[in-house]
Chain A
């Protein structure tokens, strides 16, 4: 593929490097491309959508860029955690990027998203910026939650991103939600990012039926290859149309996390390294899009490499900027406890050192 592209560019090869790039820029065409998903969808109580997904070269390039950015961010977060700049609990999303990116391609910012603690990339997909993400991870006041939430509590109100939550589980609540949303035909999509492990416990040890897309019982469901961003996009588009017309639908995204459950979990005591590297080799979401880009000649290897280098620089720059932001002022301890000022006084532990009226 690369050789063919080079031949076509031969006349311009004598031109200087910048002109070479300008000769055939990375495709931003909006011409329709139809690509088949890796595997067909499996459906429960509904007819599955077609395997043929319409996309454009521009969109594929965006997918590549967005997922690479997320991947870089999470890997950088790993280093920051080991350097003790990020503390506490940190749950990384690398491997699962296709779910966040594919979803956004099918919905709008007026649609609301809520998720659990593995939320860094969801925040980014919702329009969050790198600096506020890193600042929040490092507990700085420029963070998206002003440094007070941390890794598990990212929110973005103007993008209808409702967080970012630490305490999850409670299967009973899931079934309550399914019942109520089905009863009242609420336009809700319940997405299960099935990475096959609940921290250290494999799904088959925790669920009688790991066919989560069927668990809605009377609620239809779809099982999706969560490592294929186009499949995710197709499924979410289908789900949104369905939910708006008919009520809730379950989406099970078959995905995988390369890191352990969190930074305190090595991720290798309950799964083999072969399994992890196997998934990385065969199903990595970014590599899949890279192959598509080459197959449709949307960019060369060199161009993609440059893009990745640029992304790396952007991430490093964002980290540097975030590091310069200061820690929140001690008075911030008392802000945002209540929305309305009650004039309630709050005392420091000794009633003297710190005394504030809750604003």
Chain B
């Protein structure tokens, strides 16, 4: 926001309150009420406002207090955000960033535990990334703001408290690139966002058992970084996808399809995909744990693939 006066933020309680997850803390004091705009509770309207502002030359960052609330703005995101560049024959661009926390949290209930990347992935013209560490959150956010295309940046409710030393200076990560978390030889594990941490937990057990998994945080949910993913598959010949989306129609389902289309000949085993259950996320803690993939299941899956 310091570098470019066209960058602005809008959303509920982003200004004076500092953001419900403190992401925009201090910004209103620095940049004023207009550049850090507290909107009424009207997602459809303020997302539409963001699109209009972007068309006019600003670079707005729209916050959904919880990604789930953006369902109320679906029309804006799909029809206006995603399609305008195309339907106007290239005249208008929409350099908008839509960001917010999503995913399954700690007993937040069904409506506040949604994975909107499943629903948005079909929208043409939209780009989607998911950050998972403080380092890639900063880099991806900066890249998203600089992008000329509308980018949806998926943060996760449970990852806001992560602490990491990151460089003070400017750095931008590539929006379309996946992140090699751990190189390996036996199996390619593709994951993103919070599931990265379940995979890393499983990694400890796997390494003890003598496995050498290659872990890739795909980061770019639309489009997929098939270059990095492909190179990995050509090396290991086995794929496990670990995602938080539901089994039906999630990122995993699309990724699986894409891998089969492009790398079928390199596979030595069927692609395995660990997704969440096709159920609304229950409130009860034990049931909620049973809806998402747990480290023990990841270990079992790797053992099965590598047989």
A interface residues with partner B (beta carbon < 8 Å): 87-89, 136, 139-141, 145, 147-153, 165-172, 198-201, 205-207, 264, 269-270, 327-328, 330, 332-334, 337, 346-350, 352-354
Bound together, the chains give a CA A170 to CA B111 distance in angstroms of 15
Determine whether the beta carbon of B287 is less than 8 Å from that of A353: no
With an 8 A cutoff between CB atoms, is B282 at the interface?
A: yes
B-side contacts of A199, CB under 8 Å? 12-13, 17, 20
B-side contacts of A348, CB under 8 Å? 277, 290, 297
Given contacts A89-B108, A167-B111, A206-B41, contact A349 B13 (CB under 8 A): no
> Most chain-B Cβ atoms within 10 A of its Cβ — which of A139, A152, A333?
A333
Given contacts A167-B72, A169-B43, A201-B13, contact A149 B293 (CB under 8 A): no
With an 8 A cutoff between CB atoms, is B276 at the interface?
A: yes
B-side contacts of A354, CB under 8 Å? 290
B-side contacts of A150, CB under 8 Å? 107-109, 283
Bound together, the chains give a CA A330 to CA B272 distance in angstroms of 23
CB of B21 to closest CB in A, whole Å: 9
With an 8 A cutoff between CB atoms, is B274 at the interface?
A: yes
> Most chain-A Cβ atoms within 10 A of its Cβ — which of B39, B42, B44, B284?
B284
Candidates B108, B297, B300; contact of A88 at CB < 8 Å:
B108
Determine whether the beta carbon of A87 is less than 8 Å from that of B287: no
Who on chain B is nearest to A326 by CB? Answer: B286
Bound together, the chains give a CA A41 to CA B275 distance in angstroms of 55
Bound together, the chains give a CA A353 to CA B20 distance in angstroms of 37
Given contacts A147-B287, A200-B17, A330-B290, contact A165 B111 (CB under 8 A): yes
Candidates A87, A147, A346; contact of B277 at CB < 8 Å:
A346
Given contacts A89-B112, A198-B40, contact A350 B107 (CB under 8 A): no
A selection of 23 A-B contacts at a CB cut-off of 8 Å is: A88-B283, A89-B109, A140-B284, A141-B284, A147-B282, A148-B110, A149-B109, A171-B40, A198-B40, A201-B12, A201-B38, A205-B16, A207-B40, A264-B20, A270-B17, A327-B285, A330-B290, A332-B287, A333-B282, A334-B279, A347-B247, A348-B277, A349-B292
With an 8 A cutoff between CB atoms, is B301 at the interface?
A: yes
B-side contacts of A169, CB under 8 Å? 41-43, 69, 72
Determine whether the beta carbon of A328 is less than 8 Å from that of B109: no
Who on chain A is nearest to B33 by CB? Answer: A205
With an 8 A cutoff between CB atoms, is B280 at the interface?
A: yes
CB of A199 to closest CB in B, whole Å: 5
B-side contacts of A333, CB under 8 Å? 277, 279, 282, 287, 290-291
Bound together, the chains give a CA A253 to CA B43 distance in angstroms of 25
> How many residue pairs bridge A and B at CB < 8 Å?
163
B-side contacts of A145, CB under 8 Å? 283
* Majority DSSP secondary structure for residues of A touching B: loop
The bracket for how many chain B residues form the interface is 35 or more
Candidates B43, B275, B287; contact of A170 at CB < 8 Å:
B43
Determine whether the beta carbon of A88 is less than 8 Å from that of B40: no
CB of A261 to closest CB in B, whole Å: 9
Determine whether the beta carbon of A167 is less than 8 Å from that of B107: no
Known contacts A149-B109, A167-B71, A205-B16; 11 additional CB pairs below 8 A are: A88-B106, A89-B109, A149-B282, A171-B45, A172-B44, A199-B17, A207-B40, A264-B20, A270-B16, A327-B285, A332-B287
A-side contacts of B277, CB under 8 Å? 333-334, 346, 348-349
Tell me the chain B residues, 21-48 only, with Cβ under 8 Å from chain A.
38-45
With an 8 A cutoff between CB atoms, is B278 at the interface?
A: yes
B-side contacts of A349, CB under 8 Å? 247, 274-277, 292-294, 297
With an 8 A cutoff between CB atoms, is B139 at the interface?
A: no
With an 8 A cutoff between CB atoms, is B105 at the interface?
A: yes
Bound together, the chains give a CA A87 to CA B158 distance in angstroms of 13
> Most chain-B Cβ atoms within 10 A of its Cβ — which of A153, A199, A349, A354?
A349
With an 8 A cutoff between CB atoms, is B125 at the interface?
A: no
B-side contacts of A151, CB under 8 Å? 109, 283
Determine whether the beta carbon of B72 is less than 8 Å from that of A148: no
Determine whether the beta carbon of A353 is less than 8 Å from that of B297: yes
Given contacts A89-B108, A169-B72, contact A147 B41 (CB under 8 A): no
Determine whether the beta carbon of B279 is less than 8 Å from that of A201: no
Determine whether the beta carbon of A353 is less than 8 Å from that of B300: yes
Q: B256-299 vs A: 1/0 string, CB under 8 Å?
A: 00000000000000001011111110111111001111100100
Candidates B105, B108, B287, B294; contact of A148 at CB < 8 Å:
B287
Who on chain A is nearest to B72 by CB? Answer: A170
